[in-house]
Amino acid sequence: MADVPKDPSAGGSQSSSQSGFIRRTWDVLCRPSARFSLLTLAGGGFVAGIIFWGGFNTAMEATNTLEFCTGCHEMRDTVYQEYKNTIHASNRSGVRAICSDCHVPKDWLHKVVRKVKASRELYGKITGLIDTPEKFEKARPELAKRVWASMEETNSRECRNCHSFEGMNPKKQSPAAAEIHATAKSGGITCIECHKGIAHKLPAGS
């Protein structure tokens, strides 16, 4: 059976169709709206998005600084004073963990969720819920339990940014500490279950 000769115009027709689609797409992008072309609007939106994203992340990081966290007297006069005397604030190696290292996730999604949850702390500020040492001590048990529960739910995620069972050298620990850490590792015990009060005073009766 003889081969059917190919229509030489077929390839040209396909190429012409593709060229026509590209031209139509470009015309749509360049077509003016009320005052600007769609391409101009899209480009402006892209630039505005970059500026917004940069500003948003800058604001997020600004609220992670020690200065921001201790900017109100409720924190500065209570838990910050306790923190200053702990190994997380001052130690022989000079490695310091500040508030956000322990209380704010590193990854973006969980960080945003934490910031949204932290907005209720503004309510406490506005209403004066803990604006005196006496009020703070009264609320301390509930505040501590809330933080402990959150850390247990995440398997002490923020602690593990710096600490890990794999990175521990039992030979450089006391026999008791090495045994406890081995038990914790095999039993799935998370950091905060044993290390409550590591950076702040424990509530009365804990």
Q: What is the CATH number of the domain that holds 54?
A: 1.10.3820
Give residue 1's pLDDT.
47
Task: Look at residue 169 and tell me if it is in a domain.
Answer: yes
Task: Look at residue 9 and tell me if it is in a domain.
Answer: no
pLDDT interval class at 125 (50, 70, 90): confident
Say whether pLDDT at 19 is over 90: no
Task: Look at residue 19 and tell me if it is in a domain.
Answer: no
Task: Look at residue 159 and tell me if it is in a domain.
Answer: yes
Task: Look at residue 148 and tell me if it is in a domain.
Answer: yes
Structural domain tally of the chain? 1
Task: Look at residue 14 and tell me if it is in a domain.
Answer: no
pLDDT interval class at 182 (50, 70, 90): very high
Task: Look at residue 105 and tell me if it is in a domain.
Answer: yes
Task: Look at residue 204 and tell me if it is in a domain.
Answer: no
**Is the dihedral angle over the CA atoms 49, 52, 57, 60 positive or is it negative?**
negative
Structural domain that includes position 108: 42-194
Residue 176 is encoded by which pair of tokens? 């008791």
β-bridge mates for residue 37, sequence order: 32
